[in-house]
Amino acid sequence: MKNIAIFASGSGTNAEEIIKKFQNSTKAKVVLVVCNNPNAKVIERASNYKVPVFISKDKTTYSSDVFLQMLMVAFRVDLIVLAGYLWLIPEILVKAFPKKIINLHPALLPDYGGKGMYGDKVHEAVLKNKERETGITIHYVNENYDEGNIIYQESFVIEPLETTLGLANKIHKLEHAIYPTVIEQLIS
Residue range 137-181, pLDDT digits in tens: 999 999 999 999 999 999 999 999 999 999 999 999 999 999 999
Closest-CA residue to 104 (of 188, 178, 41): 178
Closest CA to 79 of 22, 10, 143: 22
pTM of the entire predicted model: 0.96
Query: What is the overall mean pLDDT for the chain?
Result: 96
CB 26 within 8 A of CB 185: no
Cis before residue 110, ω within 30 degrees of 0?
Answer: yes
| Domains present along the chain, CATH in parentheses | 2-187 (3.40.50.170)
The secondary structure of residue 61, as a DSSP letter, is G
Active site residues: 105
Distance CA 28, CA 146 (A): 25
